[in-house]
Amino acid sequence: MPHVVIIGRPNVGKSTLFNRLVGKKLALVDDQPGVTRDRRFGDAELLGLAFTIVDTAGWEDDDPSSLPGRMRAQTEAALEGATVALFVIDARAGLTPLDEEIGRHLHESSVPVVLLANKAEGRAGDSGLFESYALGFGDPIAFSAEHGEGLADLFQALLPLIGEPEEEEERSEDEPEYDPKSVLKLAVVGRPNAGKSTLINRLLGEDRLLTGPEAGITRDSIAVDWEWRDPATGESRPIRLIDTAGMRKKAQVVDKLERLSVADARRAIDFAEVVVLLLDATRGLEHQDLKIASMVLEEGRALMIAINKWDVAEDASGLFNGVRAALDDGLAQVRGLPLVAVSARTGKGLDQMLGAAFSLRDAWSRRVPTAALNRWFDDALTANPPPAPGGRRIKLRYITQAKTRPPGFVLFGTRLDMLPESYRRYLVNGIRRELGFDAVPIRLTLRSPK
Ligand code: GDP
Ligand code: GDP
């Protein structure tokens, strides 16, 4: 059970809030400060969200002047084991130095904070509500513990922090479960003369497409369904091969060939799950190839690279390493794209290429359970805490995988507009490396609670 801890100076309405969330008159409420002495735990329920609510005491003291001095230790004690802190202020009274003191200590902790401006029913709390922005916890929730106002906003704020829906419920209706045995939609793209038609002919084992030294001589063909027998498992695996060379003719464009290959690739990408970028071993990796590669990644498709004409490659290992380095250099988005050496002419490396394409689609379709994701997330933040631009820490609270194919993640926190690109990359690379996404393009959306 997540622990939601109520924190605030005496008399702001903590006990009333506790009662409201537990639904029973458990805590003693009194107009006089100093009534609440112990920590109390209750089973809370808020619009279907279940958590343990903790009402903290110890703020109260017979001698209020000694309170600020003890504040740090008490905040720490109160936050022990907390998933979220509900920081309550009295909107009618406005901000007091004690509120600011508590706020400072809360900023020092890594526990996410939701700010409640209590007693905000009617208009009497308006100015306190606006003042409370100064505490630096984002938008305060206008709340009335006594009248039960603001409960939906509180729910909204807590949901990303403690709501961990069942894995089954996470998948949206329009996203059917991934079947690794389904037809692989595969496109082969590349510059003219890289050997795309020859490759497709070789795969299909029949002369379906015309090949020749002049680029662009192909019969019309958009997609071909066939079965590949995986020598590793003996299984037959269905593939729908999208032939961009065939599309080129369809497009009836006789413009510059280089520009054409980009247009081909763009169309192929619309169809494909996995895109194989074919390079010509006799030419290496050229600018145009990087352009196509970036486009595939921007479109969120799984990308792999095959160096063709390996049968005539000179200095094979030098070439391979050179292409690897140029890819890692030229494509900032991903490192370690699957790279295979093939020969469309001899058939070398083609089984390896197709095996890699299926594995890549698995990674591209992968879903990580929220709990595992956040375990990784906590470790990543501990290993390398987010920076504090201007001395104020950026709070990263919770991460969830919102979609697959390509994988998309949503990161919740505060001051996210200040998050440097390098830190974002640190997270994305960590997701990729440590959660099994390999070289798949990953999207990370940043979201601050309203
Ligand atoms: P605590 O000391 O922070 O636990 O505060 P209590 O829950 O004991 O509340 C202190 C006083 O504020 C009591 O008189 C409550 O009735 C009153 N109070 C609590 N919540 C509200 C609210 O939403 N609106 C108003 N007007 N009064 C409230
Ligand atoms: P496309 O324009 O990308 O479809 O390229 P083609 O399939 O038409 O091939 C262009 C030229 O490269 C042709 O002369 C092919 O015979 C040749 N070619 C294709 N694959 C290979 C290969 O693996 N090895 C060698 N040596 N030549 C190849």
- List, for residues 96-150, the tens digit of each pLDDT value: 998 998 899 899 888 999 999 999 998 888 889 999 999 999 889 999 999 988 8
Whether residues 349 and 375 share a domain: the answer is no
Q: Domain with 407 in it: what CATH number?
A: 3.30.300.20
Q: Could you tell me what percent of the chain has a pLDDT over 70? A: 80
Q: Which residues pair with 187 in a beta bridge?
A: 242, 275
Any ligand 1 atom below 6 A from CB of 267: no
**Residue with the two structure tokens 């017979």:** 62
On whether both 232 and 322 belong to a single domain, the answer is yes
pLDDT of residue 245: 54
Beta bridge partners of 280: 284, 308
Q: Higher model confidence: residue 32 or residue 16?
A: 16
Which 8-state DSSP code applies to residue 391? G
Residue 171 forms part of a structural domain: no
Which ligand ends up closest to the CA of 28? Answer: 1
DSSP alpha helices (H): ranges in 63-206?
Answer: 67-79, 97-108, 126-131, 151-162, 167-170, 196-204
Q: Whose C-alpha lies nearest to ligand 2, atom 19?
A: 195
The answer to whether residues 62 and 154 belong to one domain is: yes
Range of the domain at 235: 184-365
Cα–Cα nearest to 192, from 112, 109, 255: 255
Mean pLDDT of 291-309: 92
Position 178 in a domain: no
Q: How far is the CA of 207 from the centre of ligand 2 (A)?
A: 14
Single out the residue in 365, 384, 411 at which a domain terminates. 365
- Decide if pLDDT at 270 tops 70: yes
Higher pLDDT, 43 or 356: 356
Residues 125 and 25 both lie in one domain: yes
Residue 405 lies in a domain: yes
In this structure, are 113 and 204 located in the same domain? Answer: no
Q: Is 241 helix (H, G, I), strand (E, B) or coil?
A: strand
The Cα 253–Cα 119 span in angstroms is: 69
- In a domain, residue 169? The reply is no
What are the structure tokens assigned to 261, written together? 């290959």
Expressed in angstroms and rounded, the spacing between residue 165 Cα and the centre of ligand 1 is 33
- The type of residue at 272 is A
Distance CA 13, CA 148 (A): 12
Are 225 and 88 members of one domain? no
Q: Are residues 358 and 376 in the same domain?
A: no
Pocket test for ligand 1, best of 98, 116, 146, 147 (most atoms within 8 A of CB): 146
- Does the beta carbon of 193 sit less than 6 angstroms from any atom of ligand 1? no
251 with 232, same domain: the answer is yes
Q: Which helix (H) or strand (E) holds 163?
A: none
Separation between Cα atoms, residue 360 and residue 354, nearest integer Å: 10
- Number of domains observed in the structure of the chain: 3
Which ligand is nearest to the Cα of residue 121, counting in written order?
A: 1
The helix (run of H) or strand (run of E) holding residue 14 is helix 14-22
> If you take atom 22 of ligand 2, which residue's CA is the nearest one?
309
Half-sphere exposure in the Cβ direction for 389 (13 Å, CA) = 10
* Residue 179 placed within a domain: no
At 364 the pLDDT is: 94
350 lies in the same domain as 400:
no
Residue from 189, 193, 204, 311 whose mutation best tests the ligand 2 pocket (most atoms within 8 A of CB): 193
Is residue 9 annotated as involved in ligand binding? yes
Q: Is 21 in the pocket of ligand 1 (CB under 6 A)?
A: no
For residue 309, the model assigns a pLDDT of 97
> Which residue type does 419 have?
L
Instruction: Give CA torsion, residues 290, 291, 293, 298, to 10 deg.
Output: 140
Ligand 2 pocket test, pick from 191, 197, 198, 262 with the greatest ligand atom count within 8 Å of Cβ, gives 198
Residues 17 and 99 in one domain: yes
pTM over 0.80: no
Minimum-distance ligand 2 atom for the alpha carbon of 215: 2
Task: Name which residue leads in pLDDT, 260 or 122.
Answer: 122
CB distance 129 to 142 below 8 Å: yes
Asked which of 326, 348, 365 is the last residue of a domain, the reply is 365
List pLDDT tens digits, range 177-235.
889 999 999 998 888 889 988 898 888 875 555 444 443 333 334 677 888 999 989 99
Is residue 400 helix, strand or coil? strand
Domain assignment present for residue 199? The answer is yes
- Considering only CA atoms, which of 130, 124, 118, 60 is closest in space to residue 90? 118
Domain-located, residue 409? yes
User: 208 with 347, same domain?
Assistant: yes
In short, whether 221's Cβ falls inside 6 Å of ligand 2 is no
What's the CA-to-centroid distance between 281 and ligand 2, angstroms?
11
Shared domain for 242 and 380, answered yes or no, is no
Q: Is the CB of 144 under 6 A from ligand 1?
A: yes
Question: How far does Cα 36 stand from its chain's mean position?
Answer: 42
DSSP code for 188: E
Domain CATH for 295? 3.40.50.300
In this structure, the chain runs to a length of 450
The verdict on ipTM greater than 0.95 is no
Residue 175 lies in a domain: no
Last residue of a domain, one of 130, 162, 194: 162
Query: Residue 266 pLDDT more than 80?
Result: no
Mean pLDDT over the full length of the chain: 82
Is 60's pLDDT higher than 90?
no
